[in-house]
Chains A and B, each alone.
Chain A
């Protein structure tokens, strides 16, 4: 299990300042005064955070699973690798290992280079990647994966594997010298929806499966999780909307078995815990309730990644069913 705790990464641009000429001596021919040295690059620290996995269970009501009890956090504690882009150029890939150490997988040595990647030892840790790049406008892309990446050497980009956990980008104009620190808030990619409940008390035919009864309203809990390589992933929370939102939840069987107000949720919850919606059994049959999202991000990122089922979730995040039956039962009686 790739559970790693990270603190928010502060993307801090550090301007690599240098230079400065010496002064001329009196009585001596005066050397021409050099124009001030203006560095042609700036440094920028890209910070990102991965929250602690040690968040306490929430006192949510109803049947809450281990997934729901996990603290939602973002960037996902399931982050196992990070990729940094400058525009469409991949500049850095690192695997993130506990306790929050970076292991460089790939480092671009062209115009934009990563000069440092560190994390604090605090819980949750804060990590900083320092980028040195050319002056001017840049869009730095940030992509996290739930699995480590590998390549032949640090000059060879990896063939990325895994469904993206989160991504985001930061548009910044780099000036000479130390640039203001920046913080990037990646958007979580809704990869799966975990359903819990409803609480049913009626068993079909006495000993059969638990079923809902027509006319009765039931509460179904759910959590929108990322693709972290743990059972059910980690719940996505603020800050940041879903990368592929909105997440919608609706009956999809077409049978009108239940009545419900469809869920359309663009933003994750602010804090950990199960969310819920209600359905009312309206007809006999098995209702299929499906959670969906987009199969690509809403934003057109400068990284220009190509999204497919190999690196991005499919549209269906999860389904749950509820069998509804008449509120009556039939009793065969033998009279003698």
Chain B
């Protein structure tokens, strides 16, 4: 489970999100993402307690935190490219560098990769590269990692003509995607591969307690393993849908109970928690996703907790107050003499 940080303070059943973090940006860089902000809290019965809440967002380096979230994640550190199940290229990435690709491994043979450049705008990060391969049908997979990959001293898979060595991949995949294409001779029409972010972490904020029949609205952001919010153009999470569940059952309802599509742009999303049991109680709310991609990629990667989301993105307690309470009443009177 990856929870960036969480402590919440509730004031009179309203939630105030304490935002922090984010590095300073340059003039050209997009603004640092703001932490989730809860929308207008519903009115709740009086006499509820107040819970202080703070959210700590891990500190990014100024240049990193200044970037807007996008896919490829601006914090992506390595890229692996497969032709079918064959790993053909690995590079460490410095996306905002003049030389964004630092080749770690380039397989010799019929499929070769020529790295290109990366550009940034306020909302997108785009990298170009070229793949030369034999004519016919191919499935090219691209996998993004949040950390740089290292050389391996000895690689049985390495051929003398290869450049570098096949790394032992480290890190939880932040995004991946596949491009099915039939290669014709010559230069083929340009193709676009839109990666799908792997839901791995979440930022959230909201009240930790609500009265019976009241609704607490949570703000949240689903992030990949680089700690950047997953947004479109990928129209799905790689391991979606992202689900919102509560246990034990029967105490709260959560709407929506799941979300399949990342937001179009960076910003908060919301889900509502409503207490439905007059007896109240405490539940554990879990934001989860699948532990492997929905797509069976041609690269045939084996997914485990070491390279993929654990499935439980985050969980936290939530308390519902009972509908009734006992009020000790002391009645003072004067005995008549």
A interface with B by C-beta (< 8 Å):
202-208, 211, 213, 325-336
Contact = CB atoms under 8 A, between A and B. Distances in A.
Interface stretch (B120-128, B165-173, B281-289, B304-312): B120-128
B152 interface: no
A201 B192 CA distance: 25
B129 A329 contact: no
A331 B135 contact: no
A206 B189 contact: yes
A333 B132 contact: no
10 contacts: A204-B185, A205-B186, A205-B188, A327-B185, A328-B185, A332-B128, A333-B190, A336-B125, A336-B192, A336-B195
B186 A206 contact: yes
Number of chain B interface residues as a range: 35 or more
Contact of B131 (A205, A326, A327, A333): A333
Q: Per DSSP, are chain A's interface residues mostly helix, strand or loop, or mixed?
A: strand
Contacts of A329: 132-135, 183-188
B130 interface: yes
A206 B135 CA distance: 11
B126 A335 contact: yes
Contacts of A328: 110, 132-135, 183, 185
Given A333-B193, A334-B191, A335-B195, A202 B184 contact: yes
A76 to B, nearest CB: 42
Contacts of B114: 330
Scoring B70, B142, B184, B188 by chain A CB atoms within 10 A of each residue's CB, the highest score goes to B184
A334 B135 contact: no
A205 B186 CA distance: 5
Given A329-B185, A331-B181, A202 B135 contact: yes
Nearest to A208: B186
A225 to B, nearest CB: 33
Contacts of A333: 128-131, 140, 179, 190-193
Contacts of B188: 205-206, 329-332
B235 interface: no
Nearest to A329: B183
Contact of A334 (B79, B126, B133, B185): B126
